[in-house]
Structures are given as structure tokens and as C-alpha cells.
Amino acid sequence: MKVSVLMSVYNGEEYLQESIDSILNQTFSDFEFLIIDDCSTDNTWQILSQYREKDPRIVLVKNSENLGLTKSLNKGLKLAQGQYIARQDADDISFPQRFEKEVRVLDEQADCVLVSCNIQLIQGRDQKVIEVMHRSCSPELVNWYLLFYNHVAGHSQVMYRRNDAIALGGYSEQWLYSEDYELWCRFAKSKKKLVILPEVLLTYRQHNQSISAQKAKKQEAYVTSLVQENIEQLTHAKLKPEEIRVLVGFWKATLKIVSGDAYRRFPEATQAEWLHQQLIEIKQSFVREYSSTSGVDLEAQINRAIGKQFLAWLQSPLTSRHSIWSKIQISRYVFLWSPLNVPKGWLIWFLRFPSDSATSIFRKLQSLGQETKKLNIEGKPSA
């Protein structure tokens, strides 16, 4: 059997049928659908039993006690018969060609351990798309972004090699509410390739009963600890939790968050220099660790990614936290990481402000430009 579809559900009757239908209607049909009912008290088991009578691919397991998502998933990994594991949550909707396209990647790329895709978000029963999460990028950058946050962006849209997951010990039961992100990090550290397809193949449903909504603060605490561990393993530097939150905030500031806005805003502009220096050190360690396995100009890719994020900071709406002068200071780091993007950022400013303000800005930029020439992105005086 090629694929085992793994779902754990607890009191999921409201959206369950729509989710199951999206799996049974896949264009790729060589799969078993392993569904674990984690002691639901609503009509979940009745719904599942009715589906099992109609489709023999469905395999039902009913926990004798409530185990929680992570333990249920590990139970499913042991029971699964498929070569690949396709995850599906009981409230999300897979596009019909999701399995077909993800299986093709794993079949054709032996060095790929996991394949994901872009996803779209809806709210509750409203079918209107409120956001599309574009996470597709080169596999090398997926590993880079995973240092700081779950760039894969979710759990329900992924397919991965079962044997690789089992060899790494499956899902860690120590990292509740971030078990998916932690496993992806271990995949990356094992030097395996993670591919994100540039297509939307899953609809992710936001609602108040989801784990992300109900456990947002605990999830954030686990993520902070995990990022702290990622950085320490790579650079041997133990950063404080508040420093980790600055790094995470820098990378997630322009990303909408499903369960709140904890990371939507950029850090204080006064932290730009600290961020710049930290990113230099992390990048150097990352390139040393991963460049031999990539075969691409890894450093150039990371430089562009960092410059793009500083540019997003530069172009963020003017608030009391980010004055015009703060943005001018931030532009220094746009220049250091991605010089060609500076004129784009400056042009936006000049279109926003009257001529007298623009003249003042230009003079400050000239002064700042003289200082910027003294540095490069290695953090050393330039020759």
C-alpha cells in the first residue's frame, strides 16, 4: 500500500463529514484511511461507523482512554501500513489532487522526506477564503526558516515517509501542541529535503474549538523553547526567551497567525542592530552545517531572504513604534543584506510624504549612507 491517511479526532462532528469526503474523493486512490477516535462524546463515532460501512479503505480505531493528539498520532504510525503518511485533521479540506501531486514528489525525489503545499484559510462554516499562506520556497530555505518558526505552516497538508518518521522516534510527546513543528525540525537536522509545492492543495479551517485557538499561549511557549533549542544546537549560544521572541517576531511579523497576533508585529526598531548581528552568526553556522548538502549558493539565498524581511520591516505602516527615523535606521540593514531593494523602499517613502519632509529624509539617508559604507553583511569593516 502506498499511503496511510492518518487522522485523530475528538468531538469533531461539526466538520468531520466534509473532511472525510475530501479524502475519499481524491484522484489518487491507493490508500488506507486510518481514523482514531480519541474518546469522543458527541456523534463522531456514529459518523465514522457509517462511513466505514460505505468504504472499505476506512480503518477505525477507538481509544479506550483520551490520549491526546500526539499519542494518538504515534499510535497511528505504528498501525499504519502505507509507505507514506498523509496527515489530515478532522476540520480541514483536501483538494482532490493533493495526494496525486504529493505522492509524485516522494516517488520521484528519493532525497525528499516530506512534501507540503500552500494552503488557504477559511473561518468556521464560511467558505470565503480569508488568506492564502504562500510558503513555497527552495528546500534549503525551508530548513533555514524552520530554525525560527513552522514555515511548513500546518500539519494537515503534509505527506512524509513513514519509515523516516519512525526511525526518528515518531512524534515527540514532550512537545505538546507543537509536535508537528518539532518533527519537521528533526527531519531538517537529518539533512533530508523538505519540499513545499507552489500550489494551494488544502483548505485550513479556523474556529474557536481548534487546538491552535484553545492552546495558543502554551503553543507559543513550546515554540519559543523549540527555537531556543534549534539555535543552541546550531551555534552553541543559549539565547534568552525574550531574545528568541525577537528573532521569531522578526520572521513572523508579516505573517498572519491563526490563533492570535502574538508575532504579527516587528520588534522595536532599537533591536535592529542586535538582530543584524545575531543573523550574521546564525547564518554563518547554518551555511557551514548545510552548504555541503545543498549544491546551491546557500549563503546568497539566505542573504536575499534576510534582506527581504528587513525590507518588509522598512515598508511596514508608520506607527508610534516605528518613526520615520527608525525606518531610516532599518534601511541600513536592507542595504547590507539586499542593496538593490533600498531604492524601492525609499521610493515608497517619498510618495507618502510632502516635499519638505522628503528633503529632510533624504539628508538623513545621505548621512546614514556614509556610515553604512563602513560595514558589510559579515559585520566587519569593508576594505
Q: Please give the Cα distance from 319 to 323 (Å, whole number).
A: 6
Q: What is the DSSP letter of 10?
A: S
Angle of the 216-235 helix axis to the 272-294 helix axis, nearest 10: 70
> What nine digits make up the cell of 208?
474557536
For the cut 60, the answer to whether the pLDDT of residue 257 exceeds it is: no
For the cut 60, the answer to whether the pLDDT of residue 248 exceeds it is: yes
DSSP line for 315-357: TSPPBTTB-HHHHHHHHHHHHHH-GGGHHHHHHHHHHHS-HHH
pLDDT for 318 equals 45
CA 370 to chain centroid, in Å, comes to 38
CA quadruple 223, 229, 230, 235: dihedral, nearest 10: 150
Among 87-96, 286-295, 316-325, 373-382, which range has the highest average pLDDT? 87-96
For the segment 320-336, the average pLDDT, to the nearest whole number, is 76
Determine what percent of the chain is predicted with pLDDT higher than 70. 81
For the cut 90, the answer to whether the pLDDT of residue 92 exceeds it is: yes
Q: Tell which wins on pLDDT, 315 or 90.
A: 90
For the segment 286-312, the average pLDDT, to the nearest whole number, is 87
What's the pLDDT tens digit per position in 12-29?
A: 999 999 999 999 999 999
Total count of residues recorded for the chain: 383
Tell me the CATH number of domain 3-210, given options 3.60.21.10, 3.40.50.300, 3.90.550.10, 3.40.640.10.
Answer: 3.90.550.10
pLDDT for 342 equals 58
pLDDT for 57 equals 98
Q: Tell which wins on pLDDT, 61 or 253.
A: 61
What's the pLDDT tens digit per position in 199-240?
A: 999 999 997 765 555 566 888 899 999 999 999 999 999 999
For the cut 80, the answer to whether the pLDDT of residue 121 exceeds it is: yes
Q: Please give the Cα distance from 79 to 320 (Å, whole number).
A: 55
Residue 94 makes CB contacts below 8 A (sequence gap 6+) with 19, 22, 23, 26, 88, 156, 157, 201, 202, 203
pLDDT for 241 equals 95
For the cut 50, the answer to whether the pLDDT of residue 356 exceeds it is: no
pLDDT for 359 equals 52
Q: Please give the Cα distance from 273 to 336 (Å, whole number).
A: 12
Q: Which of 252, 156, 133, 233 is nearest to 188 (CA)?
A: 233
For the segment 114-141, the average pLDDT, to the nearest whole number, is 94
6-10, 168-172, 333-337: range with lowest mean pLDDT? 333-337
Domain range summary for the chain, segments of one domain joined by +: 3-210, 266-372
Residue 112 makes CB contacts below 8 A (sequence gap 6+) with 105, 106, 139, 192, 193, 194, 195
245-249, 305-309, 336-340: range with lowest mean pLDDT? 336-340
What's the pLDDT tens digit per position in 174-192?
A: 988 899 999 999 999 999 9
Residue 74 makes CB contacts below 8 A (sequence gap 6+) with 170, 171, 173
For the cut 90, the answer to whether the pLDDT of residue 304 exceeds it is: yes
pLDDT for 217 equals 81
Task: Round the average pLDDT of the chain to a whole number and report it.
Answer: 86
What's the pLDDT tens digit per position in 129-178?
A: 999 999 999 999 999 999 999 999 989 999 999 999 999 999 999 988 89
Angle of the 272-294 helix axis to the 139-146 helix axis, nearest 10: 140
What's the pLDDT tens digit per position in 37-77?
A: 999 999 999 999 999 999 999 999 999 999 999 999 999 99
pLDDT band for position 320 (50/70/90)?
very low
pLDDT for 237 equals 95
> What nine digits make up the cell of 198?
507552489
